[in-house]
Chains A and B, each alone.
Chain A
Amino acid sequence: DGGITQSPKYLFRKEGQNVTLSCEQNLNHDAMYWYRQDPGQGLRLIYYSQIVNDFQKGDIAEGYSVSREKKESFPLTVTSAQKNPTAFYLCASSMRGSHSSTDTQYFGPGTRLTVL
C-alpha cells in the first residue's frame, strides 16, 4: 500500500528541547517537502529536497533542520531556536520536484506539535 507516513501524530515538547518529526514515503518520489500550518492559515514551506543528500531552505527555515540520507526519508528537527514551534507540520512528496506546477504533491497525515 503506497503512501506517505508521518509520525507521531501528536507530539509534546518542553521549551528548549529539540524534537524530530519523521516522514517516510514508499512512492519512489524524488522530491520531499516540509510545511508548517498555523490555525486558519495556509501552508508555509520550511525545507524541501529534490534529491538524496541535497536540500534547500524554504520561506521559513530558521529554527529548523533536515537531512535526506535516503530517498524515502526526510526527517525534520525543530530546534530550540524556533521561537514559536507549536503548529501542524505536513510532509509531502512529489515525483520530480521540478519547477513545473504539474508536479503534484502528495501529503502525509501531519504531526501536531505542541510546546508546553
Chain B
Amino acid sequence: LAKTTQPISMDSYEGQEVNITCSHNNIATNDYITWYQQFPSQGPRFIIQGYKTKVTNEVASLFIPADRKSSTLSLPRVSLSDTAVYYCLVGAGERDGGSQGNLIFGKGTKLSVKP
C-alpha cells in the first residue's frame, strides 16, 4: 500500500506562508497526490491534486519533485480559518492489495494558526 508520512502538527501565525511536507516513498507510477482539508466535525474537503512539478489553484500550491517520493502543500498567507487537519493521500491501486477505489487517509497534519 502506498502510505504517506506527515508531521503530526504544525503551528503558524496569521499572514505567514505554511508548507506541509508529505513523504510517500512507495508511490506508484500511476498515482496522483491529493490533499484534503478537514475542520472539526466536518467531512474532508478536496484542496489540490497533482502528479509532478507544480500545481497551483486559488487555495494552495503543490510542489512535487522529480522523484515524486515527497510533496509539499503550500498555503500562502494563512488566516485563523485555515486551522484544520490536512491529509496527504496517494491512491491505493488494486495491484497493491488495497481496497479498490480507496484513498488511504493517515492521521494528517493538524495546523494551528495563531493571531
Q: Which residues of A contact B (CB under 8 A)?
A: 31, 33, 35, 40-45, 48, 50, 56-59, 88, 90-92, 94, 97-110, 112
Contacts and interface: CB of A to CB of B under 8 A. Distances in A.
Q: Which of A44, A50, A103 has the most CB of B within 10 A?
A: A103
Nearest to A105: B103
Contacts, number: 75
A100 B49 CA distance: 12
Interface string B69-103: 00000000000000000010111011000011111
Given A108-B43, A109-B42, A110-B41, A103 B105 contact: no
Given A33-B101, A33-B102, A101-B33, 6 more contacts: A42-B105, A42-B107, A50-B100, A94-B101, A100-B32, A101-B91
Taking chain B's interface residues, is the majority helix, strand, or loop, or is none over half, making it mixed?
Answer: loop
Contact of A40 (B32, B99, B107): B107
Contacts of A44: 105
Contact of A104 (B34, B90, B108): B34
10 contacts: A33-B101, A44-B105, A45-B99, A57-B99, A88-B41, A90-B43, A97-B101, A99-B100, A104-B46, A110-B42
Contacts of A41: 107
A17 B14 CA distance: 47
A95 B44 CA distance: 17
B94 A101 contact: no
B34 A56 contact: no
B49 A102 contact: yes
Q: Which of A48, A105, A106 has the most CB of B within 10 A?
A: A105
Contacts of B49: 101-102, 104
B100 A101 contact: no
Contact of B46 (A45, A56, A97, A106): A106
Contacts of A99: 91, 93-94, 100-101
A3 B106 CA distance: 25
B57 interface: no
Contact of B101 (A50, A59, A109): A50
